[in-house]
Amino acid sequence: MQNGYEVFKNQLFQVLGIDLNSYKEQQMRRRINQWLTRHSMASYTDLIARIRTDLDHRAAFTKYLTINTSQFFRDQGVFESIARQVLPSITSGGNMPRIWSAGCSIGAEIYSIAMLLIKQGARARELLGTDIDEVILARAREGTYSDSEVGGVPPDLLRAHFVKSGNLYQISDTLRRMVKFARHDLLQDPYPKPFDLVLCRNVFIYFTADTQKRLIHSFVDSLKPGGFFVVGSAEHIMDPHAFGLERVSYCIYAKTV
């Protein structure tokens, strides 16, 4: 006999295509219960009924569940290392790199990389941002941001790549044209390849340890030999060699084979 949460997970997968089995259970249950309280719903059954019929509620719940928080140049030190070490390496000899931001949310991470490439006079063959959440991808494509989201953009890059309109900042068409956004579920879809640089930051903290391992193997498989893999500041890889990686800097690994 399945308990309520087991049934809910199956139904949620049918309606949203999100597989909660791979996410840390305690954290997810707590978040979902908070949502039920906030929206005065008595049970998982009420929530499933609501997201089947109310598309706005479905979008809002997806956004809540997937935790879309992001900013430009988040973890400044990591971007300094990317600018100093990673980009010069993958663009040397005129190489035009392929770069993937997985779990890209509002696109801030991949647009930050695009700005650094322009600053260094380099060009990319492909800049890809992917996420499971279609609503957040629409925001990434539109490229309109709040004060706090652009707070980490250095002043010269803010002037060069954004137009301020009221309280919002619109990213330039040049940058929007450089980046492609697509829906991709890290748990179910085949991983695109080959890439010179893959960033997956502040995404797999939500997954179970087994799922994290499976994902890291898939990311390594998506990298060219010598390619770089960047994780979030709470996501250190304890035994990089077990995945064919070596640590090159804080949060940054290189594929050794």
Ligand X SMILES: C[S@@+](CC[C@H](N)C(=O)[O-])C[C@H]1O[C@@H](n2cnc3c(N)ncnc32)[C@H](O)[C@@H]1O
Q: CB-wise, 70 or 222, nearer to ligand X?
A: 70
User: How many residues of this chain interact with ligand X, rule: CB under 6 A?
Assistant: 21
CA separation, residue 85 to residues 88, 143, 226, 250 (Å): 6, 27, 13, 12
Please pick, from the candidates 20, 90, 128, 186, the single residue that binds ligand X as defined by CB under 6 A. 186
The piece of 114-122, 171-179, 181-189, 217-225 that touches ligand X (CB under 6 A) is: 181-189
For 21, phi then psi, to 5°, come to: -60, -30
Residue 52 sits at φ, ψ, to 5 deg, of: -70, -35
Q: Which amino acid is located at 81 in the chain?
A: S
Question: Cβ of residue 9: shortest distance to ligand X, in angstroms?
Answer: 14
Q: Judged by CB under 6 A, does residue 68 bind ligand X?
A: yes
Q: Does 131 bind ligand X (CB under 6 A)?
A: yes
Q: Can residue 240 be called a binding residue for ligand X (CB under 6 A)?
A: no
CA dihedral 127, 109, 251, 31 (to 10 degrees): -120
Residue 116, token pair as written in the block: 């650094």
Please give the Cα distance from 41 to 36 (Å, whole number): 5
Of positions 66, 81, 91, 112, contacts ligand X by CB under 6 A: 66
The residue from 109, 196, 245, 254 that contacts ligand X (CB under 6 A) is 109
Angstrom distance (rounded) from CA 88 to CA 85 = 6
> Which residue stretch of 51-59, 131-139, 157-165, 169-177 sits at the interface with ligand X (rule: CB under 6 A)?
131-139
Binding span for ligand X by CB under 6 A among 34-42, 84-92, 132-140, 249-257:
132-140
Residue 134 binds ligand X, judged by CB under 6 A: no
Which span sits near ligand X by CB under 6 A: 42-50, 67-75, 85-93, 249-257?
67-75
212 binds ligand X (CB under 6 A): no
Burial annotation 10-39 (CB, 10 A radius, 16+ → b, else e): ebbeeebebbbebbbeeebeeebeeeeeee
Type of residue found at 203: V
Span of 43-51, 111-119, 180-188, 217-225 interacting with ligand X by CB under 6 A: 180-188
Candidate residues 97, 107, 143, 232; the one interacting with ligand X per rule CB under 6 A:
232
How many C-beta neighbours within 10 Å does residue 48 have?
19
Q: DSSP readout, 150-197? A: TTTS-HHHHHHHEEEETTEEEEPHHHHHHEEEEE--TTTSPPP--EEE
Q: Would you tell me which residues interact with ligand X (CB under 6 A)? A: 66-70, 74, 103-105, 109, 131-133, 136, 185-187, 201-203, 232
